[in-house]
């Protein structure tokens, strides 16, 4: 499986990092070795002093597709979760300044936290899902998928023009504003609506 991530998909977050909102989705990939599931501890890597959390709604692809039309995109997923796109912000800033790819800052081991999945049918419409994340008991991110610049279906249509989607692939749909640094001992708890989907510690 592969992990496809969307960057700058919430205007307020693009603004907080002084990025422009693009006319097409910004996408990047993480390898399967980035996955961190079952509320395992996240270990801060030694190559960064500024690891940021990015809380994101995650869609699991349930059948293979290429050149998927936006109006049929909803047929390609039926379960949803919440994850963290951990980002080595210091490394990413250095790579961006040099015009280099982001992989070292985005694709490292444990950088794709994934919560438990819920059937979409049980939680509502993909275009109207509230989600939030509490850091040490304080809510630091809160948004609704209606605020996305590019909807899930638009992202699927766009990505599948370039990359064949396969069963089990995950799409991280971008983070809203409120990203920030994690430190040893932190506890991150993610909610989709009022359902807790992940709860893990930083070591």
Cβ proximity to Zn ion: between 72 and 154 the closer is: 154
Read off the tokens for 166. 């396969």
Cβ proximity to Zn ion: between 85 and 169 the closer is: 85
| Interior angle at CA 155, CA 98 and CA 115, nearest 5 | 90
Is residue 154 within 8 A of residue 170, CB to CB? The reply is no
Smallest separation, CB 180 to Zn ion (Å): 13
Cβ proximity to Zn ion: between 25 and 65 the closer is: 25
Residue with CB nearest Zn ion?
85
Binding site for Zn ion (CB under 5 A): 54, 85, 175
Taking CB atoms within 8 Å and a gap of at least 24, the contacts of 180-185 are 180/52, 180/53, 180/135, 180/140, 181/50, 181/51, 181/52, 181/89, 182/42, 182/44, 182/51, 182/52, 182/53, 182/86, 182/135, 183/44, 184/44
Smallest separation, CB 45 to Zn ion (Å): 17
Cβ proximity to Zn ion: between 9 and 134 the closer is: 9
SS3 35: strand
Cβ proximity to Zn ion: between 109 and 194 the closer is: 109
Read off the tokens for 146. 């209606």
């Amino acid at each position: 499986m592969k992990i496809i991530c969307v960057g700058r998909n919430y205007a307020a977050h693009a603004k907080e990092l002084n990025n422009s909102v693009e006319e097409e989705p910004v996408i990047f990939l993480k390898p399967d070795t980035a996955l961190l599931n079952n509320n395992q501890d996240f270990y801060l890597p030694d190559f960064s002093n500024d690891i940021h959390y990015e809380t994101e709604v995650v869609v699991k692809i349930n059948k293979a597709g290429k050149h998927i039309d936006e109006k049929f995109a909803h047929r390609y997923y039926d379960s949803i979760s919440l994850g963290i796109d951990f980002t080595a912000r210091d490394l990413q800033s250095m790579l961006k300044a040099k015009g280099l790819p982001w992989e070292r800052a985005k694709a490292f081991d444990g950088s794709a936290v994934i919560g438990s999945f819920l059937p979409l049918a049980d939680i509502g419409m993909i275009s109207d899902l509230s989600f939030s994340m509490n850091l040490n008991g304080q809510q630091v991110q809160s948004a609704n998928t209606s605020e996305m610049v590019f909807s899930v279906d638009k992202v699927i249509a766009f990505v599948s023009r370039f990359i064949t989607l396969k069963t089990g692939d995950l799409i991280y749909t971008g983070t809203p504003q409120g990203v920030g640094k994690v430190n040893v001992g932190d506890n991150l708890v993610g909610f989709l609506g009022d359902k807790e989907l992940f709860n893990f510690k930083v070591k």
